[in-house]
C-alpha cells in the first residue's frame, strides 16, 4: 500500500462531490481493490501469514463489499423511484387545489 503525504492528499481534486457523511477526499474501498491487494513477504527468520488464507479472506471481504454496493445501488434506485412518485403526486395535488380554487 502506498502512503500519500497529507499535503498531497489534501491538494488532490476529489473524484466525486462530497456528501454530508464523508469528506470530498474520501474514496470508498472497492471490491477489485481488495482482490488485487498484495502483501510483502516477511523478513527471513520471522513468521508470516499464509498467503492462501490471506487471499481467501480478501475474496470474502471483496464479495461482501460487492454485495453491499449492489444493495446500496438498489436502495438509491428505489429512493429515486419514490421521490419521483412523490413529486408527481404533489404536482397532481397542487393542480387539483388550483382547479378547485378557480371554480370558486
For residues 34-57, give the mean pLDDT: 78
Of all residues in the chain, what percent carry a pLDDT higher than 90? 32
pLDDT of residue 75: 96
Q: Is the confidence at residue 21, as pLDDT, over 80?
A: no
Q: Is the confidence at residue 99, as pLDDT, over 70?
A: yes
Q: Is the confidence at residue 49, as pLDDT, over 80?
A: no
Residue with cell 482482490: 35
pLDDT of residue 103: 85
More confident residue, 10 or 39: 39
Amino acid at each position: 500500500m502506498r502512503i500519500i503525504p497529507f499535503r498531497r492528499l489534501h491538494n488532490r481534486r476529489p473524484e466525486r462531490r462530497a456528501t454530508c457523511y464523508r469528506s470530498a477526499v474520501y474514496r470508498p474501498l472497492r471490491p477489485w481493490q481488495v482482490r488485487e491487494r498484495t502483501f510483502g513477504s516477511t523478513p527471513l527468520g520471522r513468521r508470516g501469514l499464509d498467503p492462501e488464507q490471506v487471499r481467501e479472506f480478501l475474496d470474502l471481504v471483496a464479495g461482501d463489499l460487492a454485495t453491499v454496493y449492489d444493495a446500496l445501488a438498489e436502495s438509491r434506485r428505489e429512493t429515486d423511484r419514490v421521490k419521483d412518485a412523490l413529486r408527481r403526486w404533489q404536482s397532481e395535488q397542487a393542480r387539483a387545489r388550483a382547479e378547485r380554487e378557480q371554480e370558486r
